[in-house]
Amino acid sequence: MGRYAAEPSPEHLEAERRAASSRRDRRLLAILFGLAALVAVIDQLSKQWAIGNLSQTTARPLIGEFITLQLTFNPGAAFGLASGTTWIFTVIAIAVAAVVIRVARHIGSVAWTVCLGLLLGGAIGNLIDRLFRDPGFPEGHVVDFLNYANFFIGNIADIAIVGAAIGIAVLALIGIDVDGTRPGRSDGEGEGAVEDPAGDAGEAAVTADDGGARGVDGGLDPAGGMDAGGEGSTTAEPNAVEALATGDSAEADDAVNGERHG
C-alpha cells in the first residue's frame, strides 16, 4: 500500500500540468512578439536602405529580370489600387495588429505562433509607413522596392504577410486551431475519448488484489459467494487450482483436504 501512498495526488498533477502549460504559453508569446519585432525592424531598415540607394526610374537586377530593385512609394494597396483612400489601409493595419494581439492570448501551437508573428510584424512594418512617412499621418505612403517582373512591387513586410497568409491557410486546411488542438478529436474527455487499455488493466489488477485481500480476511459475506458445493468451496477450489498451476502439489493437497474437512 505504501507504493500508492507515494504517488502524487491528482490535484498535484493538475497543478504541475497548469504550471508547465503556463511556461509554454509564455515562451510562445515571447517567440510571437520577438518575431514580429524582428520582421518590423528588418522591414524598416531595408526601406531606409532602398530610399538611400535605389532609383524610382531605374531597376537594378536582383534575380535576373524576374526580381529587380526599384524604389516606389505606394499610397494604396497592391497594384496601386485604392490609392485615394490610404487612411482605410491604416485602419485595416491597426485592426489586424489588434486581432493578432487578442488571438495571441490563446496561442498553443508553434506553427500558429510563427504565422501570427509574421503577420503582426508585416502589419506593423507597413503601419509605420502609413503613420509617419510623407505626406503625413495617417496617409503616409508605403516604401516598396522589390519589383516582381513588373507585375507588382512590394517589400519585406509584404513577404511576411503573404507567408503568414499561406501558413494560416494550411493550418486551417489540416484542422489545427490556434491553441494547437484539432476540432472533432477528443483530448481524452467526453464522447470519443480514447481509452487506455493499460491503465484500465492496471486498475482492474489493483481492484482484484484488494478484493482478494478482503476475502482472505473474511470481510466478504459468505452467503454472497456460496454455491451448491457447500461452505468454503468457493475459496478452496480456486486455491487448489492456483497451487497446481504453480507446480506446488503439496499445497494443492492441503487445499483440497481443507475443503473436505471444512
Residues recognised as catalytic: 144, 158
Strand order in the sheet with 142-148: 60-63, 67-74, 142-148, 152-154
Residue 177 host element (H or E): none
- Cβ atoms within 10 Å, residue 67: 13
Q: What is the rounded distance in angstroms from the CA atom of residue 139 to the CA atom of residue 170?
A: 33
For residues 109, 114, 117, 122, the Cα torsion angle rounded to the nearest 10 degrees is: -140
Q: What is the rounded distance in angstroms from the CA atom of residue 62 to the CA atom of residue 40?
A: 22
